[in-house]
Structure 1
């Protein structure tokens, strides 16, 4: 017979899973750490499965906990949103979208007013990030990300390719004649270490030892390059304005395909009317403004273009 699980225990588990801490969950729910621990233990006994591994310095989720957490997080988020709308006596639907900052500033923000006018009932909440995102943990409905589309447990729609190109201050660009001139220059790096080697392979030049600073954001890299500190490798389509105004220069035409921009959401999440509205508007905007977007939908991705490029590079060396 199906068990009737206590709501307080489910809430205690969801908060504990989000914080990976009984103490922080207790502070959020305004009860003691002991009460949270007891409620979670009660839930585990009713389910006949452990949901957490108790470690000396915190918690980790078991496979059962990982399966249950996003479902509960989504359910509590929907309940909270419905209550907010009832209390506010409005019918607007809140849609929370996480977006990598480069795509937000380079493409999305200048078009959001179009979405607002065409979908006034959607209360869009945009949270920018550096491409490291936890859709369930961050309470997101949708996430705009850079990569290969292969994220576990997600559906993904390919929006547009984002080839990387070298950019720098115009004064530095004036001194560069060919890619080999980059030897000895300060090459700014992202946390994806393979990008510069792939770019040099495409440019037909040997890759030097790269020891420049590492960034977690293309925006920060581009700003550093614009200040004359080094050469950055960035998704050039997101920095057209900076190149057109002369704040950044593009010394070489070589580009490397190291990823694309994708719209993603959890497979376990049922799409609401507002989520579908944003998805359909975004797909249409990309198709209209970026004819080469090559939209397609995947589940857990089509394969890694970086690895594909590495295989090509290996064949070239052979």
Structure 2
């Protein structure tokens, strides 16, 4: 089959990201019915349902999850490529390597303000799905880890990890606010890198051991893990600052009042090649000094 129409894909990505046809229409500066028609046309073209038309928010189907992950990554890459093509010769170019999750949930909405304040700097984004899958071709790496295990030659904290168990409100409302009730709820597991033991860490001082995950509750991609929670499939461990937009929109809510602060966090790391790069240092300071 031919590649899907890009206009249909961007409408789907916006609707999936916002969980709303209305907010997607506002972002793309079109009427809400246009978004609905484009998503429907894409579903017809692919022969599968991508979005569940629920109220007040739409949700992704399993097939929609797969496509959203691919499209979200592609849009980041296309945006970066477009900036590369259009950049002025007098601009300083800084390559930032970051995860799709951090870019989608935190960085993308803040970058326009930086670009307005520093029009002389061009930010080129390289996105990755795995936290430690960064390569050598970057001036700045945004990494989630313990401060003793960070890449680069210098680093500054963006925000520290505050673990919180979260779920779709309909799921959260069924779970009493106790560690024992949480341990028996449908826990979803992120089984990649330094996240494989997160639930054991969260329950470490409670005397409880969460049951091992069944295969359908294990995820190797943060974006798919997050989407499973948005779909109401179970409870995930998230980070207060990273998921704040989802809390504000009522898409996710904390399951219990329990919070766990660790020494880990999101750090902006300066690579060796950028040690004397003034533009890279400006981005580093901006990320570290910004209000979470």
TM-score band by shorter chain is 0.5 to 0.7
Instruction: Report the counterpart of residue 212 of structure 2 in structure 1.
Output: 210
| TM alignment of 1:166-315, pairs within 5 A | 166-177=165-176, 178-190=178-190, 191=192, 192-202=195-205, 204=206, 206-212=208-214, 213-258=217-262, 259-267=264-272, 269-285=274-290, 289-290=291-292
Between Structure 1 and Structure 2, how many residues are aligned?
199
Q: Which one of 131, 140, 154 corresponds to residue 142 of structure 1? A: 140
Q: Secondary structure at the match of 1:225?
A: helix
On the 8 A contact 1:147/1:261 being kept in 2, the answer is yes
Change (3 A) 1:107 1:91: same
Q: Secondary structure at the match of 2:234?
A: coil
Q: Does 1:125 align with 2:107?
A: no
1:184 positional shift: 4.2
Instruction: Report the counterpart of residue 113 of structure 2 in structure 1.
Output: 114
Separation in 2, partners of 1:169, 1:152: 35
Change (3 A) 1:152 1:228: closer
Separation in 1, partners of 2:151, 2:144: 14
Q: Secondary structure at the match of 1:160?
A: strand
Separation in 2, partners of 1:208, 1:273: 47
Q: Higher Cα Rg: structure 1 or 2? A: 1
On the 8 A contact 2:162/2:239 being kept in 1, the answer is yes
Instruction: Report the counterpart of residue 154 of structure 1 in structure 2.
Output: 153
On the 8 A contact 1:100/1:146 being kept in 2, the answer is no
On the 8 A contact 2:151/2:269 being kept in 1, the answer is no
Instruction: Report the counterpart of residue 165 of structure 1 in structure 2.
Output: 164
On the 8 A contact 1:218/1:234 being kept in 2, the answer is no
TM-score w.r.t. structure 1 length? 0.57
TM-score w.r.t. structure 2 length? 0.62
On the 8 A contact 1:180/1:206 being kept in 2, the answer is yes
Separation in 1, partners of 2:222, 2:259: 15
Deviation string 1:47-68 (CA, Å, 9 cap, x unpaired) is xxxxxxxxxxxxxxxxxxxxxx
On the 8 A contact 2:189/2:219 being kept in 1, the answer is yes
Q: List alignment gaps of at least 5 residues for structure 1.
A: 1-83, 291-318
Deviation string 1:142-179 (CA, Å, 9 cap, x unpaired) is 01111112235532112211211111121221111122
Q: Secondary structure at the match of 1:110?
A: coil
Deviation string 1:11-47 (CA, Å, 9 cap, x unpaired) is xxxxxxxxxxxxxxxxxxxxxxxxxxxxxxxxxxxxx
Q: Secondary structure at the match of 1:208?
A: coil
Change (3 A) 1:268 1:106: same
Q: List alignment gaps of at least 5 residues for structure 2.
A: 1-83
Q: Secondary structure at the match of 1:277?
A: helix
Separation in 2, partners of 1:89, 1:269: 20
